Amino acid sequence: VGRHPTPQAGPAPVAGVDRILAIGSGKGGVGKSTVSSNLAVALAKQGRRVGLLDADIYGPSQPRMMGVSKRPGSPDGKTIIPLQAHGVTMMSIGLMVDPDKAVVWRGPMLMGALQQMLGQVEWGKLDVLIVDLPPGTGDVQLTLCQKTQLTGAVVVSTPQDVALLDARKALDMFSSLRTPVLGLIENMSTFHCPKCGHESQIFGHGGVAAEAEKIGVPFLGALPIDLDTRLAGDGGTPIAAGEGPMADAYAQLAKRFID
Ligand code: ADP
């Protein structure tokens, strides 16, 4: 009997998970984690079973943004029990390492950690798993797109040219990896002054919608620069968990992923 070459492992589903949405960005600091946590919470409020995987290995923000700090348990030393916060099942590499220490890992370790978080975490049955990617186009994105059956990717950008420039690279990466791009979100769009009502376009306005039209992908919506959004994220309760215009905006956005 001749030896057959081992077939390359193709993208695999995550057991029990219906859809996997990856949220990416070209640049850091554009609000990718903020959008991820708020979308997750908004979907949970709409009765969906939602998971949030913080795959931003070098700068995991979700423990802070979702208000959790407990180390996840592993009763059998193999499976990892995720945490629950604001109706969302969540896991972050930030919960497994010392929060004040830098994660200095080479590619293979990084890939191992990602696969562990996908395969060994007891996600249970989920309608949707949201993956908060690191910014840019590195190993984590590559591994995730190649090894996991993603429903699609969403790219968050501010309207600023330097952010859009990098967002284009992220879009290009998803398309070369044949990951469907579900759409673009403009974050830190218009700022409405709460005192005088004046609108300013601090990072510009409309650039992301124009880019979406140019490359033929859906524009999913614009989110303003909003002090309460920032305070809520820093305080560990995403703004979408409460009531008000930003919670409504996230509820609208969430509907676009599930309906
Ligand atoms: P990324 O994941 O792209 O690095 P973050 O979500 O961590 O970005 O956001 C960077 C900072 O900007 C955080 O302090 C966050 O609270 C803040 N932020 C994000 N979106 C908004 C917004 N729409 N209005 C005000 N602050 C925001």
- Which is the closest atom of ligand 1 to the Cα of 225? 24
Contact 23/53 with Cβ under 8 angstroms?
Answer: no
What is the pLDDT, as a whole number, of residue 98? 76
Domain ranges of the chain: 17-258
Computed over every residue of the chain, the mean pLDDT equals 91
DSSP H helices, the chain, are: 32-45, 62-66, 107-119, 139-147, 161-176, 207-215, 227-235, 245-258
Please indicate, yes or no, whether the overall pTM of this predicted structure exceeds 0.90: yes
User: ipTM more than 0.90?
Assistant: yes
Distance from residue 38's CA to the centre of ligand 1 (Å): 11
223 lines ligand 1 (CB under 6 A): yes
Atom of ligand 1 nearest to the CA of 187: 23
Ligand 1 centroid to Cα of residue 8, in Å, is: 38
Residue whose C-alpha is closest to residue 129's, from 92, 95, 89, 94:
89
pLDDT tens, 141-160? 999 999 999 999 999 999 99
Question: What is the rounded CA–CA span in Å between residue 68 and residue 53?
Answer: 13
Ranges under pLDDT 70 in the chain: 1-9, 259
* 119 touches ligand 1 (CB under 6 Å): no
Indicate which residue's Cα is closest to atom 14 of ligand 1. Answer: 230
Distance 77 CA to ligand 1 centre (A): 35
| CATH number assigned to the domain with residue range 17-258, chosen from the 4 options 3.90.480.20, 3.40.50.300, 3.40.50.720, 1.10.274.10 | 3.40.50.300
Token pair for 142: 């590559």
- Residue 31, annotated as binding a ligand: yes
* pLDDT tens, residue by residue, 210-249: 999 999 999 999 999 999 999 999 999 999 999 999 999 9
Q: Are 62 and 94 in contact (CB under 8 A)?
A: yes
Alpha carbon distances (Å) from 210 to 105, 153, 185, 192, 237: 38, 19, 11, 22, 32
Ligand 1 atom with the smallest distance to the CA of 224 is 23
